[in-house]
Amino acid sequence: MVKIVANYEIMRTLGQGKYSKVKFGRDLETGETYAIKIMNLSYIKKEQMETQLKREIAIMKIMKHPNIVKLKEVLQTENNMYVIMELVTGGELFDRIVAAEKFDEITARRYFHQLVSAVEYCHNQGIAHRDLKPENLLLDSTDRLKITDFGLSSIVPNKLGKSQLLKTTCGTPNYVSPEVIKEKGYDGFISDIWSLGVILYVMLTGRLPFDDRNINVLFKKIESGKVDYPIHLSKEAKHLISSMLQVNPKKRYTIAQIKASKWFQIGYKEEFAVIMPHIQSKIELSNSDIKNAVKDSFYKEVDQLPSSSTPKPPSEVRMNAFDLASQFVMGSISKMATGQDALLIRRQTRLVALGKTEEISEKVFQILKNERANPKFKGTTLIKCYMNMADTVITMNVAILKTVSDSLLIIEFRRGKGNFLAFHQFFRHVASKMSDFVVSANSQGPKSNSPTSSNEQQTQSSSTEVVTTDAPKQ
């Protein structure tokens, strides 16, 4: 069955969160491809479906910034809301961090410039993100940072304080500011600054500034604001991070102060001179813009698409196993896949396996079962898993994808919910168990040392300084 909403064909799942799924979609008229975020209306705050929500969606449709995922339109059916967005194919930024173990300061600064520029632009439009976290930081095909879900985090009740966070079994609030945990009300714009501090720390160290297996201990660590800084970090980087990770929101850096810091200033003006005036501009909305922000639509399933809407099959490609593995290592993964399973999104968690689909699927299932990942087949080539790691629940899908070669398959691990570092640690561990049938891994894929391994943490702790984020002085 082909699933259609309005004029979009809805295809395979690209990602999944607590309140939504992101599907690969295609405009049946133009052939353009999109990411379609699907949210069940039962989870949406009905009281916010009026002026404020529509205003934010209307602004998002008009906003143009190179580091923000473009929102095309928002459709609403009887049961779901469909957010039609630009398809970003470079994968998650944090996948790159884990693969590299950590970024050098030049690389981190380049991405942080883009991140702050996008956050400033949205703040100037009166929209706070409120949910900056790894899965919301994407990369396009040219490695440009793209932030997704600006303005949409207000739709679902995923940031309601400590009591709700304690009830959330999937993931831990490592990026949440102290004032959110304390349930005393918070300013989303100031809370975004805290999240920027956490993200920059992760870029430069490959680990989280606040982490613990016990969630109550984690809360206490966040509320204390004590951070361990590796000795390799520059003085300027430490100062900027500690200024953003101020426990007292009134003492926390503003966007203007971040941009004025010594560490941030390097190369920023040259890089963003062209778009700076645009960043400061304010979008003006008409009543019509707000009224038409969300369109009523329909959902249907049909046996097949009209012939005029059916995509042409890919041209035949002749490659041997060596050629295919080489393409994989060089990153040309899209040339290997077939049909709807075309691998459009770059991931660091793929393996190339030698064998038949049924055989490899069963081997992967048994390995996941042995590792207590609670695997369950959905169809014959998709395995759904969940497991407890470090007192948190990790969910994932493992897909067995066909290639243009009958003898080679791609094993793709897709994170659902939970800590991204723990997910990558599990992927590396499981990948090591598949050596008898895996012939190649992504060139930026599994590494032997996990950024969160106990040995490395012990090494890091011996070469760090503890800083309490209370009124740092330059």
φ and ψ at residue 195, rounded to 5 degrees: -60, -35
Please report, to the nearest 10 degrees, the dihedral formed by the alpha carbons of residues 361, 362, 363, 366 taken in order.
120
Cβ pair 208, 199 in contact under 8 A: no
Q: Which residue has the tokens 């095309």?
A: 72
Nearest to 354 by CA among 325, 377, 374: 325
- Cα→Cα distances 376→382, 385, 419, Å: 8, 6, 21
For the CA atoms of 332, 333, 339, 344, the dihedral, rounded to the nearest 10 degrees, stands at -90
Structure tokens at 158: 């995923």
**What is the model's pLDDT at position 134?**
73
C-alpha 326: how far from its chain's center?
27
* Token representation of residue 336: 């290997």
386 Cβ neighbours under 8 A, 6+ residues apart: 373, 374, 393, 394, 395, 396
d(CA 159, CA 336): 40
- Which strands sit side by side in the sheet containing 438-441, from one edge to the other? 376-377, 382-389, 392-402, 408-415, 350-354, 438-441
- Beta strands at 71-76 and 294-296: parallel, antiparallel or unpaired: parallel
> What residue type is 286 in one-letter code?
S
pTM for the predicted model, two decimal places: 0.76
The per-residue pLDDT for 374 is 94
Give whole-number Cα distances, 405 to 124, 325, 338, 410, 436, in Å: 51, 11, 10, 11, 19
Mean pLDDT by 10 residues, the chain (474 residues): 90 78 92 91 61 76 89 90 92 88 95 94 86 86 88 52 46 80 82 96 94 87 95 97 97 97 92 69 80 84 65 43 50 49 69 91 95 92 86 84 83 83 88 88 40 36 43 42
Residues of the binding site = 46
Query: Do the beta carbons of residue 255 and residue 120 sit within 8 Å?
Result: yes
For residue 233, the 8-state DSSP code is: S
CA distance 230 to 460: 7
For CA atoms 155, 156, 159, 163, give the dihedral sign. positive
First-residue to last-residue Cα distance in the chain: 62
Tell me the CA distances in angstroms from 242 to 130, 175, 251, 260, one per residue in order.
Answer: 20, 14, 11, 15
188-205 vs 105-124: helix axis angle to the nearest 10? 170
Q: Which residues are catalytic?
A: 131
The C-alpha atoms of residue 471 and residue 196 are separated, in whole angstroms, by: 17
- Contact status, residue 3 vs residue 28, Cβ threshold 8 Å: no
Identify the helix (H) or strand (E) that includes residue 295: strand 294-296
Binding site, annotated residues for ATP? 46
What pLDDT sits at residue 178? 92
Q: Which domains does the chain have, with CATH numbers?
A: 2-87 (3.30.200.20), 93-280 (1.10.510.10), 317-450 (3.30.310.80)
What's phi and psi for 362, nearest 5 deg? -70, -40
Q: Using the structure block, give the residue that is written with the tokens 């100037």.
A: 124
Separation of alpha carbons 258 and 354, rounded Å? 50
**DSSP character at residue 337:** B
Specify the 3-state DSSP secondary structure of 174.
coil
Question: Which of 12, 11, 13, 131 shows the shortest CA–CA distance to 415?
Answer: 13
How many Å apart are CA 87 and CA 69, to the nearest integer? 8
- List, in order, residues 6 or more apart from 274 with CB less than 8 Å away: none
- 3-state secondary structure (DSSP) of residue 298: coil
